[in-house]
Amino acid sequence: MSAPLTLLEAVTLALDYELGADPDVVVFGEDVGKNGGVFRATDGLQAKHGEDRVFDSPLAEAMIAGLSVGMAAQGLKPVSEIQFMGFVFPAMTQIITAAARIRNRTRGRLSCPMVMRMPYGGGIHAPEHHSESTEALFAHIPGIRVVIPSNPSRAYGLLLAAIRDPDPVIFLEPKRVYRLVKHEIENNGEAYPLDMCFVDREGDDVTLVSWGAYMHETLLAAGQLAAEGVSAEVIDAATVYPLDTETIIESVEKTGRLVVVQEAPRSGGVGSQIAAEVAEKALFSLIAPVGLVAGYDTIMPYAKMEYQYLPSVERIKDEVKKVMAYT
């Protein structure tokens, strides 16, 4: 049977399914056991699956990452949680120098089937270190995948795929949309494919690419633009590394225009990589320069001021109208 679930509930459902289906899966992190996590993504899992499968860790991100690597190298499938993405930096050494390199370092004798979940992004009026969108830091590291669901269905299917993947996956959960919408989800264990984009809306005039929380504003903008006579194709990147450039290129070859929407700061982001790929592989299909709607190159401001930082539907529409002015 299917049930209407939020993105947060879909994460819980996927974790519950894999804990029940695979005895090698373990879930751990700061407060994920007894309390069910700061956002309650693991609520009820310890009571159902036991303290040896779902357990709390000390407040030590480097230890969480190191334990994940050790477990994964010895045959377990750890799913760890970093409480907020802004807290991950003590764990970077283990992620970059160990998790991402084990397969290469051992010439394939060992793999590292670990998933590290992190709530990320702004929009909940949180203080500094609770609102970062630094996915590009991980998207620069060969050997790991970076997956960002945009809705409940994809959260369920992509998390299942991430847990089953033989290599490390950074799974970023856009907390602003944890409870925004509900999807009917059948708990059938069917995974979504990794390493591919999803075309959520077809169009002919301009290609819009986004991921995570900003798929919602991008789709809203596309709907409003349609009423103004602009046909926008909307693509959810979903796995931002490795990036499915073929789907994006195919769309740009059809529309001739591209606007990328990201919450992260403008400089050095995934959006810049997408623009570079299109410039290299589809330059002569472009009618207009590539547009980029992004956060600013500043620290995310506090509380309500973050909405001055975050891209809006109007900013997306304005950028589209700018590229549409080229004929």
Pairing outcome for strands 77-81 and 25-29: parallel
Closest among 193, 238, 174 to 211, alpha carbons compared: 238
Q: Does 130 qualify as catalytic in the annotation?
A: yes
User: What is the separation, in whole angstroms, between the first and last Cα of the chain?
Assistant: 50
Dump the DSSP string for 101-112: THHHHTTTS---
How many Å apart are CA 172 and CA 94, to the nearest integer?
18
Candidates 49, 125, 129, 130; catalytic one:
130
Strands in 77-81's sheet, in edge-to-edge order, are 54-56, 25-29, 77-81, 115-120, 169-174, 145-147, 239-241
Helix axes 245-255, 270-281, angle to 10 degrees: 60
Q: Is 62 helix (H, G, I), strand (E, B) or coil?
A: helix
If 0-12 CB within 10 Å is exposed, 13-18 middle and 19+ buried, where does residue 308 land?
exposed
**Which of the residues are catalytic?**
130
